[in-house]
């Protein structure tokens, strides 16, 4: 009888088929989790790429817009200066010169203030457009994070 108890104590049953099934289940779950994680990473990378592309496109178009506005401002000032010089050539008295010069300076100051406002508004809009893709992506990520 003592030998039977010893046999029972040392006869742990090891069923290789159960071990293989357990290992297979573990491996399948790991593979499924890896595929899911990869899919999530792939989607996140694609969204990040789209965000960066949209940001660069907005920045580029904004730079072009500001450049064109600056060129227009320079062109306007140059045309006004040439027109003023032509008028100066026809001046017949000192009082006319002072009046012409005062009028020119006032118009240039008003024009400069108006152009500065236009450039400031354009810059504000461009800045909003440049940060919009990143802001939208951040809001989406935060909403996904809150749902999880």
CA distance 141 to 92: 72
- What's the whole-model pTM score? 0.63
Return the domain boundaries, the chain: 22-142
* Residue 125, pLDDT score: 92
* Low pLDDT (below 70) residues in the chain: 1-17, 19, 148
- The answer to whether residues 126 and 65 touch, using CB atoms and an 8 Å cutoff, is yes
* Residue 14, pLDDT score: 58
Provide the 3-class DSSP secondary structure of residue 90: coil
And the tokens for 141? 């990520």
- pLDDT, tens only, 74-107: 999 999 999 999 999 999 999 999 999 999 999 9
- The answer to whether residues 122 and 73 touch, using CB atoms and an 8 Å cutoff, is no
* Residue 119, pLDDT score: 93
CA distance 58 to 61: 5
* Residue 4, pLDDT score: 53
Q: Is the dihedral of CA 124, 129, 130, 133 positive or negative?
A: positive
């Amino acid at each position: 009888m003592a030998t039977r108890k010893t046999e029972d104590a040392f006869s742990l049953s090891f069923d290789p088929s159960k071990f293989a099934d357990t290992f297979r289940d573990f491996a399948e779950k790991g593979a499924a989790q890896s595929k899911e994680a990869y899919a999530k990473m792939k989607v996140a990378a694609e969204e990040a790429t789209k965000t960066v592309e949209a940001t660069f496109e907005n920045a580029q178009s904004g730079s072009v817009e500001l450049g064109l506005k600056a060129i227009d401002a320079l062109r306007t000032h140059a045309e006004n200066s040439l027109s003023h010089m032509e008028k100066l050539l026809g001046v017949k008295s000192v009082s006319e010169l002072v009046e012409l010069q005062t009028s020119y300076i006032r118009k240039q100051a008003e024009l400069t203030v108006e152009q500065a406002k236009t450039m400031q508004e354009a810059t504000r809009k461009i800045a909003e457009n440049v940060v919009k893709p990143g802001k939208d992506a951040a809001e989406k990520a935060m909403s996904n994070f809150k749902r999880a």
